[in-house]
Amino acid sequence: MILKLNHLNQKATAATQAVVETIYSLVAEGLVDKGQFARLQIELDWIQYKHNFREVVIATQGYTGRDDVPPPIMDIHVDTRQVAAGSLRADLLRALKRADSELPNGDRIALEDFITMRRSIVWDFNRFYWRHLKAWEHASGQGYDQALPGGGSDGHNPLAIADDVLEFLNLLVGLQEKNQLPPEINLLEVGVGSGSRCAQWLDQFQEADRQRGTGFYPMVRFHMGDYSNDTLDKARPAVARHTEQCRFIPMDAINPIKALPQLRHKVMQVHLTNVYDNLPDEEVVRRDGKLYFVQVRAFVPAGEAQRLGAKYGVPQAQFRDRVLKMIEQGFDAFGGEECGVRFWQELWTAVRLEERLVRLEDLPEFPFPEGLDAGKLEDILQDAPTDFRFHLSSGALESFIHTLPLLHSSGYLQIFDIFVTDMAQYRTGFFGPGKLDGSLLNWVNGALLKEVAQREGYDVHFRPFKYRKETKTSILYTTRRE
Amino acid sequence: MTKLPILPTAIVGSYAMPPWLERLKGDYFARRISGRDLDEIYDTSVKAAIKDQETAGIDIVTDGEVRRDNMVDYFVERFPGIQIDRSSKKFYYDFYDSAIRNKLPMASLGLVPDFSFLRSFTDRAVKFCVTGPHCLTKRINNQFYPTEEAFAMDIARLMNLELKALVKAGAEIIQIDEPYYSGFPEDLAWGVNVINTLVEGVDANISVHICYGNRYGKPSWEGSYRYLFPTILGAKVHQLTLEFARRGGEDLDLFKEFDAPFDLGLGVIDVKTEDVESPELVATHIRKALEVMPAERISILTDCGCFHLPRDVAFAKMKAMVEGTRIVRKELGA
């Protein structure tokens, strides 16, 4: 058996010892046979987010789709953060039995069939959250920003904005000295939300421009991008004093250039804060030289489903359909928004994911996001650990690939987010997915973005976000390679 | 000289570089395939590039430059006396870190076999492209010569011998690529002197291609071609090949304003976008150029190399270029 520690958290020492002791006792009692023991890999995780999709112990098997081929992989994952004294043995046994298909599926209500993570229903929940954000905030009594780990968005930090404005102004002065300043200075922020950062940025830029007498402000065209006109309308008042400079662009964050084809090679700065960590993602496992995609199936434990059903009048036989209907149509079936939101919030807390691993060549369709394929990925992984699990950051990668062509030859992309900056970090931590209010949160594989960007002619750099202590935010920025 | 139609069409030099070729080159560096295999892959790729150009209806065909990782290293690797840090190149398109530490020795660059290969696989007129000395001095770390100009002049002397060898082998049309003029306009005066040394006694139709950069399919600089004038008028070449599709045709008036003695290589295809131009748009670009120069002095080209375009896009753009040119030829009764 292989025992893997995927974290550096000393708080899990006792849980780690308990796992080893429990496994040995199960072998001694004959509840785990030696053959099973020999092919077991137990991975001890410390999941980044308290609110997540994992049961304490899960079995993750390889899946071939063929009855005559035994599963090539048999992993047990233990979230050492959740391990509770006294229940570990039962949790381990249940996971092992599930892996051996001895347990029926009656202990859970599946919300979907096994599917690649980026197409899972949990992303529908995520979209549903953003559509009904006000209702969620009203019910929980706090705004989304307040739910963030730092109590607010790092993108709004005035010192960070001040430094950025200064750097940007210096860039423009340098271009002007070389007679390379374009007639219009285009900027783009994707995911503007309330418009607060745009407003702060423009205020500070206008003032700095006035103080230095550079005269750039009238040339500024600030393109504010978000997913709907409704959202953008809410952002308009924040930038009312900069009306001449602002443009409001509905766009899919995954494909910014589609909304702004006329700005190809013309944007001096693109900024995103906490957008990539909320884009559909999936995970890949590299094991023994092979690549496996993690397929997931969202479910609600039967006990929770029964409790929710009794409380909100949802018969068990209709549970899945009612959930799907809610995501599609809203809260009408619950007799109104107030009751519906309460159901939704409790349901979201209860939603879990089970997993299976499917080899790349056994997948029914090409699984890679634009900008990547197996050959490129293998090149990228040449120096990476041989046995590890990592994010593909599919949505982030597509957004990235569809943003780079917007950049002016001297322009740069600046992203405030939670990045894994080196593939090796995946062996010292488990980075998601987690739940943040009603949304889904994933760390972003910055190391992968960096490699892909290099092949597109950009270097990618990371610097820590120095403006708030203990933040996990870092700043990705690009520079052009000649 | 091979007889050409009025408004002859050509790509600037490079054709679409297939991702699989990039990968195979990586396989060669990783010793997964042999040099012999790689050579055969190159030969086959050149034949495919020629065939695509012919099928699209291009009048002057290149080898697509598919043997070149980029416009610099193909030459740097052939220059005697240039030291290359082989570990400096992580990706196919990257430039090697290279340096000159002694006077450049005179020796053959061995370009003739690549030209002869191109010549032997098409009956159409062919063009061979070389990177100019100014561009090369910007990429090779000069640790010997007192000035960039002195270094560039020695490169020009060496390459002059090579161009003469190409002409002897049958080359009739040669293009010199100087994309870095636009980034370093202050070098233009000595850059023109270097060009004149490069082409001295070379009996071929010589064009100079000047663009605003095309690294990874992106422009490197902005501005107007006005910086070229009047200095460029001293260049002893037959044609200036410039990009107009992406940037618009305003600078065409410079040819009228300065009564430029050159023919015009008119860029009508934007190679920095995958959007395929319509033949009518191409025709519009050509008609605008005809306002400043007679058709007999205009060639129709892509803005720059198609290196970073997908093959199907590059092919469709070539076809649009050819069809757009045919529209104007018909209007001219040609």
Give the nearest chain B residue to A376 (CA atoms). Answer: B23
d(CA B238, CA A69): 70
Mean pLDDT of A171-195: 94
Q: Could you tell me if B31 lies within 8 Å of chain A, comparing CB atoms?
A: no
CB atoms within 10 A of CB A131: 15
CB atoms within 10 A of CB A429: 17
Q: Is the pLDDT of residue B139 over 90?
A: yes
Helix/strand/coil (H, E, C) string of A175-226? HHHCCCCCCCEEEEEECCCCCHHHHHHHHHHHHHHHHHCCCCHHHEEEEEEE
Give contacts of B221 with chain A, Cβ < 8 Å.
180, 409
Mean pLDDT of all residues in chain A? 91
Structure tokens at A347: 């349901």
The answer to whether B94 faces chain A, any CB pair under 8 Å, is yes
On whether any CB of chain A is under 8 Å from the CB of B219, the answer is: yes
pLDDT at B10 > cutoff 80: yes
Averaged pLDDT for residues A257-266: 96
> Which candidate from B91, B95, B219 shows the least CB-CB separation from A409?
B219
Q: What percent of chain B has pLDDT over 90?
A: 89
Using CB atoms, which residue from A182, A264, A454 is nearest to B222? A182
Compute the distance between CA of residue B41 and CA of residue B32 in angstroms, rounded to an integer.
Answer: 14
Taking the Cβ of residue B184 and every Cβ of chain A, the question of whether any pair is shorter than 8 Å is answered with no
Averaged pLDDT score across all residues of chain B: 95
For residue A394, what are the contacts with CB-CB under 8 A and spacing of at least 6?
A: A118, A279, A280, A281, A282, A368, A369
Chain-chain contact of B216 with A179 (C-beta, under 8 angstroms): no
B141 touches chain A (CB under 8 A): no
What is the phi/psi pair of residue B211, to 5°?
Answer: -130, -165
Residues of chain B contacting A264 with CB distance shorter than 8 Å: 272-273
Partner residue opposite B220 with nearest CB, options A261, A409, A455: A409
Flag if A454 and B221 touch (Cβ within 8 Å): no
What crossing angle do the helices spanning A133-140 and A121-131 adopt, rounded to 10°? 80
**Among the listed residues B16, B6, B10, the one whose alpha carbon sits nearest the alpha carbon of residue B307:** B16
Of B95, B218, B275, the CB nearest to A409: B218
Residue partners of B332: CB distance under 8 A and separation at least 6: B6, B295
Tell me if the pTM is above 0.80.
yes
Higher pLDDT, A310 or A72: A310
Q: What is the largest CA-CA distance in chain A?
A: 81
| Alpha helices for A29-103 (secondary structure H) | 34-39, 88-99
Angle at A395 between CA A393 and CA A399, to 5 degrees: 115
Residue B271, H or E segment = none
The CA distances from residue B301 to B8, B58, B317, in Å, are 8, 10, 11
Reported ipTM? 0.85
Query: Where do we find the tokens 């120096």?
Result: A383
Rounded to an integer, what distance in angstroms lies between the CA atom of residue A298 and that of residue A323?
A: 12
pLDDT (tens digit per residue) in A388-421: 999 999 999 999 999 999 999 999 999 999 999 9
Whether omega for the bond prior to residue B133 falls within 30 degrees of 0, making it cis, is no
Neighbour-count burial of A229, counting CB atoms closer than 10 A to its CB (0-12 exposed, 13-18 middle, 19+ buried): exposed
DSSP string, A419-470: EE-SGGGGGS-B---EEETTEEE--EEHHHHHHHHHHTTEEEEEEE-TTSTT
Of A375, A409, A481, which is closest to B221 when you measure between CB atoms?
Answer: A409
Chain B nearest-CA distance from A409, in A, is 5
Q: Given an 8 Å threshold on Cβ–Cβ distance, is A454 in contact with B90?
A: yes
Contacts of A466 (CB under 8 A, 6+ apart): none
Pairing of strands A220-226, A246-250: parallel
